[in-house]
Structure formats: C-alpha cells, structure tokens
C-alpha cells in the first residue's frame, strides 16, 4: 500500500491517533497528565524516541534478521530512551523527578514498537520519519489536551499559570487516577462522535 507524504504525517493526528483510535501508550497517558506541562514533556520525549528509533529501523530494515528483529528493535528503542532520560535529568531535574519512572518506561511503549514493526521496517527512511513524526506529535497533542483539562478543573491553572477569571471549586477527583480514566473516556467518546459527524458530511 502506497502512502503519500502528507498522509504519512497527518494520520497520527486523527485517522490513526495513537491515543483515541489505537488506544496505545495508556500507561503514561493516564499517569502523567495531571498537568499540561507533564503531558507535553512526556509526549515530546516519546516523539524523540519514536522518530529516531523508526528512522534507524528503516535505515537498517534490509539487514535486520527477521528472527531477532524484536530484540534489535528493543535495543534501538532503549538507546534513545536512555539519551532522553539523561537529557531530562541533566537539564530539567525537577521535571524529570515529576515524570518519575515513566520516561524509562518508554522502552515498552507499544506506540514505538508498533510503528517499527508495522511501518518503519517496511518503508523508506523519508516516509518512516514522517510517519513517526506525525504519530509522536499526535500523541503529544492528545496528552496536552488531556493534561490541560485535568489541570484546569483540578487546579485552576494552565501550564502552571493560575486562571483567576473562573469561579468554581477545584474538582480534585479529576487529578486522581479515577479522573484520568473518566476524562480520557470522555475525550474518546467526543472523538468518535465528531468523527462520525465528519464522515457523514464527507
């Protein structure tokens, strides 16, 4: 199946959204999105690992033995996860501490391994780069949206900036694990409703 460059990039935002369609990467999605900043940071770290892992996989796709491809894919991912983790610890120690173990756990993120197996190992470098960039930014956008909603209603802030023009009691439940499930479920439901509307119009 041929993929245009635009489709390779854009599908990660809507048609094949990792969060709202494929339901992948749920561990960091639910765990770190108590604030928009945390969601954006996790999304960008995942995007970095995704882009470089898929690009390297695509470069060496013809010489990676099929029998040990899973091991090699994991080693590639772990290499770039280590780089991302050390970068955050060195330059943003407070943020790294807030994200906790979820940056190292990018190693087992299904989004990355799925794109390596389903796309990067079968396509040229340029298309693999665009595919991973779109998927990563789509994932980052979803985490920012989820984190923004939880932060706004739970803390009355946005990217740690106080929102003073609203007058309601903080919904503390929304920044708890239960709130993460409910908010994500609402967003997935809204996505499905809007997607059906757009499909009918098309």
Q: Which residue range is the domain that position 176 belongs to? A: 5-201
* Tally of helices (H runs) and strands (E runs) in the chain: 8, 2
- The string of pLDDT tens digits covering residues 183-198 is 999 999 999 999 898 8
pLDDT of residue 171: 82
Q: Cα(158)–Cα(39) distance, rounded to whole angstroms?
A: 12
- The string of pLDDT tens digits covering residues 131-159 is 999 999 999 999 999 999 999 998 888 99
Assigned token pair, 157: 């802030």
pLDDT of residue 44: 95
Instruction: Give yes or no for residue 63 having a pLDDT over 80.
Output: yes
Count how many domains the chain has: 1
pLDDT category at 177 given cuts 50, 70, 90 is confident
pLDDT of residue 1: 46
């Amino acid at each position: 199946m041929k993929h245009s460059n635009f489709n390779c990039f854009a599908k990660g935002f809507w048609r094949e959204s990792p969060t709202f369609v494929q339901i992948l990467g749920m561990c960091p999605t639910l765990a770190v999105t108590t604030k928009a900043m945390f969601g954006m940071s996790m999304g960008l770290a995942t995007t970095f690992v995704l882009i470089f892992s898929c690009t390297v996989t695509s470069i060496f796709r013809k010489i990676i033995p099929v029998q040990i491809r899973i091991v090699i894919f994991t080693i590639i991912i772990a290499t770039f996860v280590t780089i991302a983790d050390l970068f955050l610890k060195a330059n943003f120690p407070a943020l790294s501490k807030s994200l906790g173990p979820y940056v190292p756990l990018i190693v087992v993120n299904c989004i990355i391994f799925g794109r390596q197996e389903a796309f990067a190992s079968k396509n040229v470098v340029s298309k693999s780069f665009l595919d991973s960039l779109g998927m990563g930014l789509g994932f980052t956008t979803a985490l920012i949206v989820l984190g923004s909603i939880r932060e706004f209603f739970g803390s009355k802030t946005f990217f740690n900036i106080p929102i003073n023009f609203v007058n309601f009691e903080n919904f503390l439940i929304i920044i708890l694990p239960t709130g993460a499930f409910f908010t994500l479920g609402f967003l997935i439901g809204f996505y499905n409703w809007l997607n059906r509307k757009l499909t009918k119009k098309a």
